[in-house]
Structure 1
Amino acid sequence: MGILGLSKLIADIAPMAVKESEIKHYFGRKVAIDASMSLYQFLIAVRNEGAQLTSVDGETTSHLMGTFYRTIRLVENGIKPVYVFDGKPPEMKSGELSKRAERREEAQKSLEKAEEAGDAEQVDKFSRRLVKVTKHHADECKQLLSLMGIPYIEAPCEAEAQCAAMVKAGKVYATATEDMDALTFGSSVLLRHMTFSEARKMPIQEFHLSKVLEELELSHNEFIDLCILLGCDYCDSIKGIGPKRAIDLIKQHRNLETVLKNVDRKKYSVAEDWMYKEARQLFLEPEVTDPEKIELKWLEPDEEGLVKYLCGDKAFNEDRVRNGAKKLTKARTGTTQGRLDSFFKVLPNTNNTANKRKVRTDLWWQSAENFLHTSRLRKYHFTKFLHAVTCLE
């Protein structure tokens, strides 16, 4: 679920905290991808187009197909992805998981009725609600990623929390997920729609936590309390309090303790054992692997290994798999240069003349970087632009 209504609240109240970008904008960036979320998208995307893709044994392969081709697309655009898989769910998530199980049971019953009635539209609708990412799906994708030379991490608990920790430590630039709680966990940059199909033509949404807090006029602790009040995976919210009322209460009282002292108990029902403090602590100090102990390596793809794995029982087309492996190899050699801003940093200077020169230099760097997005002769053009900028100094 993530955080209920948070993306719309930010769009309405803090629109400057969100910008839309094309995938090529992230050339040279390392991005931590919420693996379970991306696998769910792949399973749903194929389901929307009809039946799931399957192997000769009838096992679903949609998650493998999506991971293979979407990862190639990311790498071809100069992105260095690292997939982060969920570990054990926190105990506080058991209530949310139980609700999901109940919803799947209801969907199963509705599906059976729709099948009896021959209602194809309803059959498709309830079939999608039964889609679930399993451990088997995850294990197969881990094997695929290893053969592709793409790093992955098994988080001890929540993947979004691990992604956020890596962003805060500077290991990666951003967290790529649809779940807004990556911001609640403290990810300074959140990318939504990064693993969406190109056919959907949806730009990538980039959320900056610092800008969100600035626009909402909240500290990070107050933002966490807002997210709990909106509704998160770890405890129920207060029934009857919507997004607008929630942010008004947090801005007025600054924390949930004071909100509870002043909220109208006759109008809003608050559970006696409301575990908001435990949820807050989980967001502040989640169980994660120390990012400093994580080593990320992007390796050469194993073309023969990929062919053996995907083109046997999985029934993938061999020519397409080999072509994909070659694209990975080619893209890997083309992204070793990295981003210009990872090599250089213009230091601030209070001198007016120096500031003017800095602005001119920044513009040249920006032009250089944009140009490199589309140029195949990156090394040649990098030298030319480097010479031009040096002359400005």
Structure 2
Amino acid sequence: MGIKGLFPYLVEAAPKAYNTSELKRYTGRRLAVDASGWMYQFLSIVRTGAAAENLQNNQGAATSHLQGFVFRALKLLEAGVHPVFIFDGKPPEMKTAVNRARRKTREHAAEEHAEAVATGASSETVYKAASRSTVVTKEHSEHTKELLRAMGLPVVEAPGEAEATCAQLCKEGHVYAAVTEDMDVLTFGSPRQIKNLFDVEGSRARQPKPAHEIDLERVLQCLSYTQDQIIEFSILCGCDYLPHLPRMGPKTAAQLLKREGSLKAVVRAVQAGKGPKGCLLPDEWDWEAAKRIFQQGPKELGSCEPNCAEEAPNFDRMRSLLVEKHQFNSSRVENMLDRLRKARSPGGAASSRGIESFFQAPKRPRLSPPAPPAILASSDPVVIDDESQGLEILEPTWKCPKCTFANDVQRSSCEMCEHPQEAKAWPLKTAVQPIDLDD
């Protein structure tokens, strides 16, 4: 989940902190990819209807996650981008209650999914239910890591949360940015986040949306926050380690923090009945423990030096895994191997020559922090949060009506399930000029 409502809030409150982006802007860059979000997306695709038969092996086990990771990795390499895939480790103890609640939600969603399939509901309804009920197993992750390593791509197993490891890799200069939909990567201190790089949001919302690069330093400057304050703000908005407070959104959280000066004071105010009407703190709402996780999470790599370097692909190993172990179509696998061979060949798009020169982000002039807003009186009303407005969109793509995978407009069939492109399958995106952060 990440931080509830944080990105829509930044769109309105800190527009200088992000810019619209696209894949080709990261040619020569090394990016840390939070693998968990992709895993859920690809495993949801296999359960959305008629395309499922192309995304399973002969025993009915899903292979969509393997196919999805290969295609995404190939697109990155063909754009000259160097991915480092980060997989979750053991979650913090504080996440146990949240994970238990999510399991119950998945069980309920599984019933909704079965009913939607049985009643012939729309593909969007089936996809939403599939997304909420998808379970990622250890076997799914291990098979994916095995395949990525055969492609010669670096895989890092996080000691804890993948977002924390992404943040630390970015802070230490191993990667340029973290690719993830979870906004808590900023709360963990990642200098840069790339959100929606492959139009994940558009796939969910049936409306194409651009990628965005978010700059943490500018977030802090625009909001007049320190890193400790953005952590407290994120906890109040809603994070993965505590129950979400009712009637509490980012705007409300920001006003309460301005009025009270700290999260500790906000907690006292809410307990005294001075928060939003109907907002009650659950028993043992240990915000201090949650704050420690965000502060210490990026440091959990310790003295371990992660290996972010690419290795030579093992084409025979890839062929064996995909064709023999997971029963992929051999001709399709050969096409994958040809694309990988071309991208990784000397002089190819994914040639690592000179990549070190791209590690450092370009220097940007500092913004002068805006004057801090006036402190609200304790009697001033607190406005309840509302939704953010939509954003402009980029390059043309079309969405497969069978498996919901977003494809390049030039493709005549879906890259994921091979369903032919139908007329007007996805509205064309309007070309826009990327926003310059220094304007």
Tell me which interval the TM-score lies in, with the shorter structure as reference length.
Answer: 0.7 to 0.9
- Once residues 36 and 148 of structure 1 are traced to their aligned partners in structure 2, the CA distance between those partners, rounded to angstroms, is 19
Give the distance between the partners of 2:356 and 2:188, measured in 1 at CA: 29
The structure richer in helix per residue is 1
> What residue number does 2:157 align with?
154
- Mapping 1:208-357, distance limit 5 Å: 208-263=215-270, 265-266=272-273, 267=277, 268-286=279-297, 288-290=300-302, 293-332=305-344, 333=346, 334=348, 335-338=351-354, 342=358
- SS of the equivalent of 1:274 reads coil
Match of 1:365 in 2: none
CA gap of 1:137–1:123, structure 2 versus 1, over 3 A, is same
TM-score, structure 1 length as denominator? 0.81
Q: How is 1:366-385 mapped onto 2 (pairs within 5 angstroms)? A: none
Q: CA deviation at 1:80?
A: 0.7
- 1:320 deviates by 3.0
Whole-angstrom distance in 2 between the partners of 1:76 and 1:42: 21
- 1:105 maps onto 2:88 in alignment: no
Is the Cα contact below 8 Å between 1:31 and 1:175 reproduced in 2?
Answer: yes
Give distance in 1, aligned partners of 2:192 and 2:96. Answer: 28
Q: Give the Cα–Cα distance (whole angstroms) in 1 for the partners of residues 25 and 361 of structure 2.
A: 19
The structure-2 alpha-carbon separation of the partners of 1:43 and 1:109, relative to structure 1 and needing over 3 Å to count, comes to closer
What are structure 1's unaligned runs of at least 5 residues? 349-393
**Alignment length (residue pairs):** 348
Residues 263-317 of structure 1, C-alpha deviations (whole Å, 9 max, x = no match): 4633432234211000000000026223761122211211111111111242323
Q: CA deviation at 1:72?
A: 0.5
Q: 2:121 and 2:358 mapped to 1: Cα distance?
A: 55
- Partner in structure 2 of residue 388 of structure 1: none
Q: CA deviation at 1:202?
A: 3.8
Contact 2:17 2:216 in 1 (8 A): yes
Matched, 1:192 2:177: no
SS in 2 for 1:234: coil
Deviation of 1:71 (Å) = 0.2
Residue type of the partner of 1:66?
G
What CA distance in whole angstroms lies between the structure 2 residues aligned with 1:182 and 1:87? 15
- Measured at CA, do residues 246 and 27 of structure 1 come closer, stay the same or move farther in structure 2, by a change above 3 Å? same
Output the CA distance in 2 between the equivalents of 1:212 and 1:321.
43
The more displaced of 322-331 and 216-225 is: 322-331
Query: Are 2:213 and 1:206 aligned?
Result: yes
Cα 1:79–1:290 change in 2 (3 A) is: farther
Q: CA deviation at 1:340?
A: 9.1
Distance in 2 (CA, whole Å) between partners of 1:227 and 1:58 is 41
What percentage of aligned pairs have identical amino acids? 38
Normalised by the length of structure 2, the TM-score is 0.73
Alignment-mate amino acid for residue 64 of structure 2: S
- Please identify the structure whose Cα radius of gyration is greater: 1
Q: Is contact 1:165-1:186 (8 Å) kept?
A: yes
